[in-house]
Amino acid sequence: MEFEPITKKKTARQVFAIAIMLAVFLCLLFYAGVFETWEWRLEDKLFVERVPDTQILIVAIDDASLQEIGRWPWDRKKMAELVERISVGEPRVLGIDVNFPEAAAGDDELAASLERDFPVVLPAEGTIEIPTGRSAAGPIVVRDTLKPIAPIAAAVELGLTNTPPDRDGIVRKIPEKVIDLDGNYIRSFGSKIAALADPQKADPIVDNLGRVTINYVGKTNSFSHIPAEEVFRENFDPAIFRDKIILVGATAPDLHDTWLTPTAKSQPMPGIEIHANLIETILEGDYIVAAPDYFTFFAILSFAVILALSSLFLKTRWNIIMPLALALIYIFAVVIAFEFGLIINILYPLIALAIIFTALAIFRYVREENEKRTIKKAFEYYLSPHVIQEIMKDPTKLSLGGVKKEMTVLFSDIRGFTTLSEGLSPEELTDLMNKYLTEMTNIVLANDGVLDKYIGDALMAFWGAPLAQPRHAERACKSALRMIEKLGELNASGIWPEGRKIAIGIGINTGEMVVGNMGAEKRFDYTVLGDAVNLGSRVESINKQYGTKIIITEFTKEKISDEFVTRYLDRVAVKGKSEPVKIYELICYRRELELQQKEVIELYEEAFALYQKKKWDDALAMLRKVSKLLPDDLATKNIIERCEYYKKEPPPKDWEGAWVMKTK
């Protein structure tokens, strides 16, 4: 590794001042909770799926159970029967996440069924507000507590079932206990069940607000489920419940007890599963706690000092590698710490690396530019300004030549331009072309294409250079479809003079092309050359002979997905080419395909296959069906004419179904 000495004490002071000031600023942002939800989302990525404890079993009130037993809520007698059937299996603890706050028929039966030798926990619910800010402390207060009616409450234990989400709507922490307005403590539903299942686990690790951070085992449905309706079946064996923690709760989406969690964002998790994850966390002692704030302060300031020293002493290449290496090491440390139950702040130390490195790089760049200007000033009396400028440039950018690579080229041309321009003044024609070319160019650029040139009323663009574009053919096809769509919008808007309408043809081809700076030493363009480019130009022009708007070659067709709908038009040898090529009409996106279009495509392609097999009559019969569905389809008319011609003048025996174009 090479080192570069500090040139000036002033520079060192400036570098350290920039780094430390930015570090302090970031520490203040961190303490104020800015970007806190972003940090939570990053921490959510650390969870790894694992196998949950088999002692927890969920009896799910799911869609199948609602369909079999009836609409929710079920009557109290039905719930009493469910409890009785579960009780036969002698579970260790039974938690039922169903509240009974109002009197109803069957209350006595339900209350009697809940009086068991093993503990039964029912929910209490209330309104809670989670204090914000790093100085906030518990306990959390609950208001408007809703509990089961007295006869039922007397037979069970109670636990608070609230699952308060964080500010971003994701449930990560559950209050282990809350205090009501009368000063009574109420434990959470999951914490209560865990304490009853194992009294030695009655004091879980909590944060400053008295909340347990849930260490989720995985996605929704990670725990074993049994539909409630199965429990009611005569052949059901309750022995499965023996000595297990049984949780009864809603999992049917229509019962609206589902929540987003760090491991369940695409498929929200039922509340009963969140309680199961909390119980698992407590019983397994698999807690996760946040590292103290001073650890984050220390990490930010340490990175600031390291980057300052790196900027002053290391060569540029090592100076760039340093923040990347620090980021990788830090992320590795974060992952390992999480495995041991410690959450280290991810976002701010990485932001510190990015911002401080960028600021110091800018400072270094400005300093170097100043040095360059100083050098230029020092040499201006000895060398000509032109020579000095050339010394300070990258000469490779001025070299002529190109490279061969696979790319996609697009040509578009206005149909009947001469007729379109008749009667228009030069100013009107110029305005029309400017508006048209502006819209078409914007579409090319929006799809990351390179506008090669305008050729009169024609436009040429390409994809695949100067940057690599793995799906360059699809970008070209998307541009073509959007160009046709946009042109339709412009025609309908009446933007053109005297109600004129513009029609265009588009040709697309994919293949090996030479791309680079082409021209003379004093004037050159960045463009593409080659047979594949010429073929793209040819297929654009033959749109006129098929009445189509967009034609792509077989080489482009091979590179695009079935997201695009095409019709196999013909196999042709274009003007100036001896080798035939398959051409396809690009019609629309798959999602936009109409039933009649699909039928036309299938009939035409089937007819064309018969035509290539020299089955003229069969092909004609099929083509006439196409004509009935699409009377103005010029491609169909062409093949009909060929079939009728070949019936009279059969092609040579070695004919392979190709049509030779006589014109461009």
Whole-number pLDDT of residue 657: 74
- Is residue 276 pLDDT above 90, yes or no? yes
Task: Report the distance separating Cα 608 and Cα 639, nearest Å.
Answer: 8
Residue 494 is part of which domain span? 404-590
Residues 316 and 344 in one domain: yes
Indicate the angle between helix axes 293-313 and 9-32, nearest 10 degrees.
160
- Percent of all residues in the chain with a pLDDT value above 90, rounded to a whole number: 62
- At 390-446, the pLDDT tens digits run 445 443 433 445 788 899 999 999 888 877 777 788 888 888 888 889 899 889 888
State the total domains in the chain: 4
Find out whether 30 and 295 touch, Cβ atoms under 8 Å.
no
CA 516, chain centre distance (Å)? 34
Nearest to 457 by CA among 434, 483, 426: 434
Instruction: Tell me if 193 is assigned to some domain.
Output: yes
- Is residue 387 pLDDT above 50, yes or no? no
- In this structure, of 139-153, 366-380, 568-582, the range with the lowest mean pLDDT score is 366-380
Task: Report the distance separating Cα 279 and Cα 97, nearest Å.
Answer: 14
Residues 267 and 297 in one domain: no
Residues 218 and 268 in one domain: yes
Residues 435 and 343 in one domain: no
Instruction: Tell me if 398 is assigned to some domain.
Output: no
Residues 576 and 599 in one domain: no
Residue 323 identity: P
Which residue intervals of 340-425 are DSSP H helices? 347-379, 385-391, 417-421
Instruction: Tell me if 43 is assigned to some domain.
Output: no
- Is residue 301 pLDDT above 90, yes or no? yes
In 392-523 the beta strands, taken as DSSP E runs, fall at 401-414, 450-455, 458-463, 504-519
What is the pLDDT averaged over residues 112-128? 95
Residues 436 and 357 in one domain: no
Whole-number pLDDT of residue 4: 40
Q: Enter the tokens of residue 450.
A: 């390179």
Residues 283 and 324 in one domain: no
Residues 188 and 258 in one domain: yes
Residues 433 and 553 in one domain: yes
Find out whether 505 and 539 touch, Cβ atoms under 8 Å.
no
Instruction: Tell me if 38 is assigned to some domain.
Output: no
Mean pLDDT, rounded, of the chain: 88
Instruction: Tell me if 118 is assigned to some domain.
Output: yes
User: What letters, b where the CB count within 10 A reaches 16 and e where it falls short, cover 637-663?
Assistant: bbbbebbeeeeeeeeeeeeeeebebee
| DSSP classification of residue 118 | S
The better pLDDT of the pair 495, 153 is held by 153
Task: Report the distance separating Cα 576 and Cα 134, nearest Å.
Answer: 76
Instruction: Tell me if 51 is assigned to some domain.
Output: no
What is the pLDDT averaged over residues 610-631? 90
Task: Report the distance separating Cα 32 and Cα 15, nearest Å.
Answer: 26
- Is residue 254 pLDDT above 80, yes or no? yes
Whole-number pLDDT of residue 315: 78
Close Cβ partners of 364 (under 8 Å, ≥ 6 residues apart) = 311, 319
Indicate the residue among 252, 287, 322 that finishes a domain. Answer: 287
Q: Enter the tokens of residue 87.
A: 């009780």
What is the pLDDT averaged over residues 124-149? 90
Task: Report the distance separating Cα 626 and Cα 661, nearest Å.
Answer: 24
Instruction: Tell me if 565 is assigned to some domain.
Output: yes
Pairing assessment for the beta strands 401-414 and 458-463 based on DSSP bridges: antiparallel
Task: Report the distance separating Cα 96 and Cα 94, nearest Å.
Answer: 7
Q: Enter the tokens of residue 397.
A: 């950018």
Instruction: Tell me if 341 is assigned to some domain.
Output: yes
The SS3 of residue 553 is strand
Residues 332 and 364 in one domain: yes
Residues 259 and 333 in one domain: no
Find out whether 642 and 546 touch, Cβ atoms under 8 Å.
no
What is the pLDDT averaged over residues 253-279? 94
Whole-number pLDDT of residue 589: 93
Task: Report the distance separating Cα 440 and Cα 419, nearest Å.
Answer: 21
User: What letters, b where the CB count within 10 A reaches 16 and e where it falls short, cover 448-464?
Assistant: ebbebeeeebbbbbbbb
Indicate the residue among 529, 562, 590 that finishes a domain. Answer: 590
DSSP 410-428: EEEEETTHHHHHTT--HHH
Indicate the residue among 554, 573, 590 that finishes a domain. Answer: 590
- At 436-492, the pLDDT tens digits run 898 998 898 888 888 888 888 889 999 987 777 889 999 999 999 999 999 999 988
Nearest to 279 by CA among 190, 202, 395: 190
Task: Report the distance separating Cα 90 and Cα 233, nearest Å.
Answer: 18
- Is residue 519 pLDDT above 70, yes or no? no
- Percent of all residues in the chain with a pLDDT value above 70, rounded to a whole number: 91
Whole-number pLDDT of residue 74: 94
The better pLDDT of the pair 134, 597 is held by 597
- At 565-599, the pLDDT tens digits run 999 999 988 766 678 999 999 999 999 988 888 99
Residues 277 and 143 in one domain: yes
Whole-number pLDDT of residue 8: 61
Whole-number pLDDT of residue 124: 95
CATH code for the domain in which residue 414 is found: 3.30.70.1230
Radius of gyration of the chain (CA): 37
The better pLDDT of the pair 137, 377 is held by 137
Nearest to 290 by CA among 205, 372, 413: 205
Specify the pTM. Answer: 0.56
Torsion of CA 565, 568, 573, 578, to 10 degrees: 90
Nearest to 458 by CA among 483, 485, 488, 427: 483
- Is residue 359 pLDDT above 90, yes or no? yes
Whole-number pLDDT of residue 524: 57
Whole-number pLDDT of residue 253: 92
